[in-house]
Structure 1
Amino acid sequence: MSILDGHKPFNLYPDAFDMVAVDSKPNVLKNLSEYPEVRRYLAGKSLKTKTVYLSALRKYVEFRGLTPTELIDEIDADRQLPVRDRGRVEHHVRRFIEYLQRDYELKGKDGLPSGVRGMAPKSVSAYTGAILSFYGANNFQLKIKTPRGAPKKENVRKPLRADSVKRLVDHAGSLRDRAIILMMFQSGMDISTVCRLDYGDVADGLRRGECPLAINTVRGKEQVAYVTFIGRDAVEALQAYLEQREARLGPIALREPLFIKEQNKIALRERISPKNIQDMMRQLAVTAGVVTDAELDRADINPCSPHALRAAFSTIMKLEGVNSEVVDYWMGHCVPYDAAYFVSIVDELRGIYAEREGALSINRAVEQVQQLAQKYNGKMETYDEIIERQASKIQRLETELDQVKQSQEQLIGNEIIRALDNPEIGERVVGALEKLQKEKENRRI
């Protein structure tokens, strides 16, 4: 007898989804990762991915009222049916997607039900992909397209450039925040990688005075070891932060976190978290005037998030002509071939970075003005002075042109009078004038 035999029919578009209680199996959700089907599902995944996958599977198990083993048994039985009778599992997954979109009740900041229903499109997409991966990891592929809601225009990230980053840095509440912003902008590191950095990752380079400063790290999401760089702005901000921290807490051990939490401007020895940086950037974006309170209220994300700094690094470096694979390597993406090739040419990569560092400098424009001021010894004309000088020059040229015209008219008149003094020429001129007069009178007739 098939597991599907006797299964009650269901409505593909119910007004409310019936959540099947899992009370009869109290340990299912608690011990989810102990099922062999789930272990296979999570194998080789990063900690962050495992967290998302388990969260999605818990909701799906609760929605279906089946254990992970029963879910796989169900689809195994479904695939043994005639082709025209298959597809019940796909219907259940589609119902689950609709439940997430319409009926799932979100929780508030206090962890209690908020009364708001329906997940954000990005979350629905992530959870759907996770459930499809669960079936795929257990050798069953579902032909379901992952829903991808059209991005809201309010969620478009700000295209940050050096001037916007300078405003963020100028309004930063601490030396630590200044260093974090500049490191993300000038290196392309993601927020999690920045949080995982230890003091030992930069200590030798700072001691040797390296600039650009090479940072050897591993990106957790891709499990990729790579090298990236930070420029002079970030190096100086990092040095200022570390000096202040040492003055407060004493020497920093190589294995201590590079960035630590601060509470009421009191430094703690606890490693900073991605949420700490997200919250800092959200508040700072408004304070610096990069986004408004209204824009944040309308958007589901912070348009000036840490990821916007990472995206700015990528865009600027590519616009500066750096090879896309080199930029991807600097950002910790998987590259088409062994990253060991790039590691072996760190000095060459440093040279490529150094040539384009100016495009990432928040102080470049200020420095250029200062250099010009020194060159002209403070005698640079203002815009108004230039306009006034040009207007005076134009007026002088117009006067000279009028004088030339008057001189030419006077010269022509004198020549005509002189010619008429000759009797022969005078008779010809008079005759021509009389002829013109007659022709004019004939046209009137």
Structure 2
Amino acid sequence: MKNEEVLEKVERELKLLGHSPRTINSYLTYLNELFKFTGKIHSRILFEDIKKFLEHLSIEKNYSGSSLNLARSAISFYYEKMLEKYTVSKIRVKKVGKKLPNVLTKQEVKRIIDAASNLRDKLIIQMMYSCGLRVSEAVNIKLEDLDTSRLTGIVRSGKGNKDRVIQLNPPLVNSIESYVKTKKLPSMFLFSKSNGTPYTIRTFQIIIKKLAEKAGITKRVHSHIFRHAFGTHLVEKGIDIVRVQGMMGHSNLETTKLYINLSKEQFKGVGNLLDDLDKDEN
């Protein structure tokens, strides 16, 4: 079997298991890079070759811990899970740094929404922020999954291939209905091009970047920042962390607890230590 045929086989297997297009693309890319790096046919690649490849990514290409983990997972999927040949998952790679992400304030979110000059761009930000959507979920939202009369919607096959219910507030419903009226051709997707097909993730990323620049936001704004703001602002509002977990579709509560660290709630009752210095002198 040629290397190209292996990639096709891996792609079919990943699709059968319900992996996202993004994960499939990443796995195939890293496997192909391994084949090119070794210059060997897949069956002749040794465990040491895989270790050298991961070292190359870490030392020479300075890949981050998360990228190295993804590369290892891709190679492990084929050589460990499909072939049961090498225990690739045991190879140690650079640890993923626990860097806290930037969070937008409510005022900054409003400035970005206000910077939108058309209904589509305004609705994109409103949906991603008020529903805590990942960009991959936002581009694939379907009209049939939005029940505006009950103020709810369903995100189909989110991360981990799980559906979850989202809340639609009245202002958001008004924006949805206004935007849908402007569409010339019917489409199953909420956000669609003139031919009815959904926009790409890249298109959304460009729109978000331009709106942030127009709004004068100095923080690094990316598509996931609205989901971070959603989680953080819910915690600051006093919503129970378990409810936040459900609203965000997290499998692990520890993932949701990140938003406690990002919120201002952890500083409640701490007071001003500089003021305390003056009090102690008196």
* Residue aligning to 1:258: 190
Structure 1 or 2, whichever has the larger Rg, is: 1
Deviation at residue 58 of structure 1 after TM alignment: 0.8
TM-score by length of 2: 0.76
* Residue aligning to 2:87: 141
* Distance of 2:12 and 2:155 partners within structure 1: 28
* Distance of 1:171 and 1:39 partners within structure 2: 43
- Contact 2:119/2:179, CA 8 A, preserved across alignment: yes
Q: Judging changes above 3 Å, is the alpha-carbon distance between structure 1 residues 257 and 39 closer, same or farther for their aligned structure 2 residues?
A: closer
* Distance of 1:58 and 1:181 partners within structure 2: 36
* Distance of 1:268 and 1:102 partners within structure 2: 46
* Residue aligning to 2:167: 229
* Residue aligning to 2:243: 326
* Residue aligning to 1:217: 155
Deviation at residue 244 of structure 1 after TM alignment: 2.3
Where does the alignment leave 5 or more consecutive residues of structure 1 unmatched? Answer: 1-26, 75-88, 105-117, 262-266, 296-302, 337-445
* Distance of 1:281 and 1:311 partners within structure 2: 15
Q: Judging changes above 3 Å, is the alpha-carbon distance between structure 1 residues 258 and 236 closer, same or farther for their aligned structure 2 residues?
A: same
Percent identity between matched residues is 23
Matched residues, number: 249
Does 2:17 match 1:44? yes
* Distance of 1:328 and 1:150 partners within structure 2: 23
Q: Judging changes above 3 Å, is the alpha-carbon distance between structure 1 residues 282 and 327 closer, same or farther for their aligned structure 2 residues?
A: same
Deviation at residue 312 of structure 1 after TM alignment: 1.1
Tell me the amino acid that sits aligned with residue 329 of structure 1: G
Deviation at residue 146 of structure 1 after TM alignment: 2.7
Q: Deviations over 1:76-95 (max 9, x none)?
A: xxxxxxxxxxxxx2x43332
* Distance of 2:235 and 2:143 partners within structure 1: 30
Deviation at residue 229 of structure 1 after TM alignment: 1.0
- Contact 2:65/2:93, CA 8 A, preserved across alignment: no
Deviation at residue 42 of structure 1 after TM alignment: 7.2
Q: Name the SS of the counterpart of 1:146 in structure 2.
A: coil
Q: Name the SS of the counterpart of 1:314 in structure 2.
A: helix
Equivalence map 1:372-391=2 (5 Å): none
* Distance of 1:141 and 1:102 partners within structure 2: 22
- Contact 1:32/1:58, CA 8 A, preserved across alignment: no
Deviation at residue 101 of structure 1 after TM alignment: 4.1
Tell me the amino acid that sits aligned with residue 228 of structure 2: A
- Contact 1:172/1:178, CA 8 A, preserved across alignment: yes
Does 2:132 match 1:188? yes
Q: Name the SS of the counterpart of 2:159 in structure 1.
A: coil
* Distance of 1:198 and 1:218 partners within structure 2: 9
Equivalence map 1:363-442=2 (5 Å): none
**Alignment RMSD (CA, Å):** 2.9
* Residue aligning to 2:49: 92
Q: Deviations over 1:274-328 (max 9, x none)?
A: 111111111221111112xxx7xxxxxxx21121101111112223333333322
Tell me the amino acid that sits aligned with residue 40 of structure 2: L
* Distance of 1:335 and 1:93 partners within structure 2: 31
Q: Judging changes above 3 Å, is the alpha-carbon distance between structure 1 residues 136 and 273 closer, same or farther for their aligned structure 2 residues?
A: same
* Distance of 1:63 and 1:94 partners within structure 2: 12
- Contact 1:195/1:273, CA 8 A, preserved across alignment: yes
Task: Select 1:70's aligned residue among 44, 52, 56.
Answer: 44
* Distance of 2:182 and 2:129 partners within structure 1: 22
TM-score by length of 1: 0.50
Q: Deviations over 1:34-75 (max 9, x none)?
A: 55x88667762513222211111111122123333333xx4x
* Distance of 1:269 and 1:237 partners within structure 2: 19
Of 282-291 and 62-71, more deviation after overlay is shown by 62-71
Task: Select 2:178's aligned residue among 240, 263, 268.
Answer: 240
Where does the alignment leave 5 or more consecutive residues of structure 2 unmatched? Answer: 254-282
Q: Judging changes above 3 Å, is the alpha-carbon distance between structure 1 residues 158 and 290 closer, same or farther for their aligned structure 2 residues?
A: farther
- Contact 2:18/2:161, CA 8 A, preserved across alignment: no
Task: Select 2:210's aligned residue among 275, 278, 283.
Answer: 283
* Residue aligning to 1:158: 102
Deviation at residue 119 of structure 1 after TM alignment: 4.8
* Distance of 2:108 and 2:190 partners within structure 1: 25
Q: Judging changes above 3 Å, is the alpha-carbon distance between structure 1 residues 219 and 163 closer, same or farther for their aligned structure 2 residues?
A: farther
Deviation at residue 98 of structure 1 after TM alignment: 3.2
Deviation at residue 133 of structure 1 after TM alignment: 3.8
* Distance of 1:282 and 1:141 partners within structure 2: 41
* Distance of 1:55 and 1:123 partners within structure 2: 12
Deviation at residue 173 of structure 1 after TM alignment: 3.1
